[in-house]
Structure 1
């Protein structure tokens, strides 16, 4: 296959994802989920101003999008292109249209229909108590992996790209000001957004001009990375306890706008520079440590194609802020489209951001060599060539974009893990307060991250299991949605077919990984992998039994409850 122009990939990918939103998501909304604008959502029913809060759909989209994005839709594709650009491109585009959007939209709808309860709690309702307990274990492990690993990724970027330090921390001040302007002073959303974005990009320019570096030798017996990790966990713990409107919503909203501007810069540079994809379509000259494409492609690229973490966010925070049930299509499905566009941009940056195939192969000399640094390197090269933005500033823009999204995932993940700890406490008959639950979460993340030294290397200890754990969770979430739809007498094949495909590939990958861990003598990960496989298999068996029972049993009555007039909020709220 001749080397394609990256602009062709960009046009095909963008058109596929937009068609998915305007056509397929409409089918899901009308025929499958049957969303109702007058259904009384949990944000109205339990409005407490802290976790439950009716929210303008654009602001909520920003929260949801940036929370699910993080660094994963960059890391996964940036690693997976080692097999060639074609498999990564196909999985990202097809996965976004038929799996990710459907999954995120569905999890958000299911939680909204069940008083804002998490997918872990819903598993108890639809597949039984045993399945619920095991489901919560898988969720807890996944969130712990995300918190520890993202803290390591962010700290590494702050050390490698000191120009990103000022905009990373300064964005918090901008977010608080935006939250006050929107909720306390009721200022115009468009005007506030414009000022917030201008301030954010001014911080990027300031950071590029005045980079901030910690001493290379570190301080207090910690490396520079270790110090950043401690500050990040302290921040995420505090931020996760604040009312959502103070920091979480406005920060995620501004970051979401910033990401779309960043994507506009990337795609605009591709349009102007039209770089050629130098990576092979199918790489037949793989490094020795590269695992087989099938099934590992489908767990290496998770976020950007489909990700179980998204279901946790959809049912953990987003469902508690959904103003109208009909907003779930925009927030959930279009949020997945935004992440798919980021993953597509990562594929282009890491396959067309180099001058020659030889230079590309120098970067991809092992399976673990791809990641955010390659995305920043390749993306900066394209932006410099297409828009004539200096390479250093281009790298700062991309690094800041990656850091800000990883940071939003970090504190959202802390809040979500706190919910899970409290749910486990409820099952055990123990009431765990918000403060205690947050402390438990932060201590667990600290313990894992610093388990192998002061540089925080332990944060990546469980990361090799992230892909399979994450995708198993996505498959299990789809099984819960399938049971729910069967019990309502709705079409369920659009959910069941992707669920079967994903579970097959993921369980296949888990067993491949099991053999590799055994051969490597990594007994800790081997045991954890076995636990995850057994838990997932058990939940899956319970789900199949629940599906069969739902096919034969009576259908659930519809549960539409309308909003009263005084509860309805204007769209600009």
Structure 2
């Protein structure tokens, strides 16, 4: 019964955020205008800049920012107790993530679809642009390299997910062509989701796997190479051909999954067995403050969302006012996924008694995706009578498809960054889409196999930096938006307050990790962590200088008048 109360309170909070708070921010603070000509129309090229129906764009945006993170983060952070995790997910979604994502979309659209790193030059200064783009590139490198490993691991451990995951690409290509021929969206969506779920049912009894060794590499390493070859090709295709329909279908698939999970809660009304506040943590468990706030990123606030908002989504925005639907509602979708993840890993669906729950969550990092799949499958079976085998395949495919769509968008975004560098530093070769894609994929594979050897797991080496780096990036994005608002003479407290909070937590976490890496003698992480911390300080100083200068000029203008 406790789970129903959690779900109801969370839904009420999300509804307040969507109907009240987001409307206020969009209309009174960002002042979104239907008459503004978006980059999708001004720079339309049929490849990256394409005016898109807001529902289809929401599907792309939502699945691109979601990935596996709103599942992984909450499923780990529940170790500290379900109360702090639920509070951060709900309040983080309403006042942090929604404003951040919608704000990045608005800011980029107002600067011809430039990424947050590139547009920071006109908002703050050229030095800020260079520093900002370093952090953006590092985050994309981490996400792409690691999600390749995550998907490969899933294909090896869950061969039932291979057939439906690749079938989704074929379905998306067909639907993309039909949409291009003005076929109605709703019937195509229904057919696409129906076919996807048929392949999930087939996949549950038809596992597919690569040979354990091929070309001198293990199956996981071969999957990583195949995935990056696919991502390179996908990133060069027009967005309407694969990216949009694939992400939209995945978004609809997630909605079905959320209906199944939330519906199961109301039908079976499971109790919570996890502690509200965990007092039995292991001796080496880090402090909940600040680590909770970087462990739950997607589902509360995430810098990666700003990259997507200002990278692919802003180039497809049909009307500026669609930014509220795409950006804020995308964040609400993530919050809903994070909330139901917490219920799945906290209740009797995962562990019948508190003692069993503590056995599963014996230390920080235990549980994670496997706990979500197990708990979610048991929850669906108890509520709907669907077998755990089919439910487990469904949830495993959900995780794989989310990670895959994030990887698709991530490689495309990395290409954008490299092309922007080519434009900024007058390197004509890097402006070429194919060359930029090869450089992006090459960097990811170099990290994967150069640092990880034949296993291809090199991306996992720098992954521990993701939490703090990602949240520092979120604070820098909020800073750029705040400077834009200050220069426009609008209230900036709605972005400055979240920015200060996230920066303090992320910077504090980064310092703690820096000391930890130093003690371990992990010099690569020491150097990278130090770079991120120094860059964030320099960007803040640059921004403060711009704000102070703006205030002086405004005051002088008032005195002269």
For normalisation by structure 2, the TM-score amounts to: 0.97
Q: Are 1:438 and 2:433 matched, yes or no? A: no
Q: Assess if the C-alpha contact under 8 Å between 1:82 and 1:367 holds in 2.
A: yes
Q: Are 1:349 and 2:344 matched, yes or no? A: yes
Q: Are 1:221 and 2:183 matched, yes or no? A: no
Partner residue, 2:158: 161
Give the deviation of 1:357 after TM superposition.
1.5
Give the deviation of 1:368 after TM superposition.
2.1
Give the deviation of 1:524 after TM superposition.
1.2
Q: Assess if the C-alpha contact under 8 Å between 1:75 and 1:370 holds in 2.
A: no
Partner residue, 1:264: 259
| Post-superposition CA distance 1:249-287 (Å, at most 9, x none) | 000011101101111111111111111111101101112
Whole-angstrom distance in 2 between the partners of 1:236 and 1:253: 17
Q: Assess if the C-alpha contact under 8 Å between 1:224 and 1:455 holds in 2.
A: no
- What stretches of structure 1 move > 6 A for 4+ residues in a row? none
Whole-angstrom distance in 2 between the partners of 1:206 and 1:554: 66
Whole-angstrom distance in 1 between the partners of 2:138 and 2:164: 31
Unpaired stretches in structure 2, ≥5 consecutive residues = 556-561
Match of 2:326 among 331, 335, 357: 331
Q: Are 1:292 and 2:279 matched, yes or no? A: no
SS at match of 1:355: coil
Give the deviation of 1:429 after TM superposition.
1.4
Partner residue, 2:559: none
Q: Assess if the C-alpha contact under 8 Å between 1:41 and 1:112 holds in 2.
A: yes
State how many pairs are aligned: 550
Unpaired stretches in structure 1, ≥5 consecutive residues = 556-573
SS at match of 2:407: helix
Whole-angstrom distance in 2 between the partners of 1:459 and 1:503: 25
Give the deviation of 1:553 after TM superposition.
3.4
Partner residue, 2:21: 24
SS at match of 2:275: coil
Whole-angstrom distance in 1 between the partners of 2:506 and 2:294: 7
SS at match of 1:470: helix
Partner residue, 1:232: 227
Q: Assess if the C-alpha contact under 8 Å between 1:41 and 1:322 holds in 2.
A: yes
For normalisation by structure 1, the TM-score amounts to: 0.95
Match of 1:7 among 4, 7, 12: 4
Partner residue, 1:151: 148
Whole-angstrom distance in 2 between the partners of 1:411 and 1:196: 19
SS at match of 2:113: coil
Partner residue, 2:464: 464
Q: Are 1:322 and 2:317 matched, yes or no? A: yes
Judged with a 3 Å threshold, the aligned counterparts in structure 2 of structure 1 residues 554 and 44 are, in CA distance, closer, same or farther, namely farther
Match of 1:400 among 397, 401, 405: 397
Q: Assess if the C-alpha contact under 8 Å between 1:482 and 1:547 holds in 2.
A: no
Q: Are 1:91 and 2:111 matched, yes or no? A: no
Whole-angstrom distance in 1 between the partners of 2:283 and 2:437: 43
| Post-superposition CA distance 1:512-532 (Å, at most 9, x none) | 111111122211111110011
Whole-angstrom distance in 1 between the partners of 2:164 and 2:547: 49
Give the deviation of 1:554 after TM superposition.
5.0
Q: Are 1:340 and 2:335 matched, yes or no? A: yes
Alignment of 1:108-507 (within 5 A): 108-183=105-180, 185-215=181-211, 217-352=212-347, 353-431=350-428, 432=430, 433-450=432-449, 451-507=451-507
| Post-superposition CA distance 1:111-149 (Å, at most 9, x none) | 111111110011111111111101000000000000011
Give the deviation of 1:12 after TM superposition.
0.8
Give the deviation of 1:453 after TM superposition.
2.4
Alignment of 1:533-544 (within 5 A): 533-544=533-544
Give the deviation of 1:370 after TM superposition.
3.0
Whole-angstrom distance in 1 between the partners of 2:268 and 2:487: 53
Whole-angstrom distance in 2 between the partners of 1:520 and 1:11: 44
Q: Are 1:52 and 2:49 matched, yes or no? A: yes
| Post-superposition CA distance 1:489-536 (Å, at most 9, x none) | 111111111111111111111111111111222111111100110111
SS at match of 1:365: coil
| Post-superposition CA distance 1:371-395 (Å, at most 9, x none) | 2111111111111111111111111
Whole-angstrom distance in 1 between the partners of 2:154 and 2:15: 32
| Post-superposition CA distance 1:293-341 (Å, at most 9, x none) | 0001111110000000000000000000000000000000000000011
Comparing 356-365 and 5-14, the one that deviates more: 356-365
Whole-angstrom distance in 2 between the partners of 1:279 and 1:172: 38
Partner residue, 1:72: 69
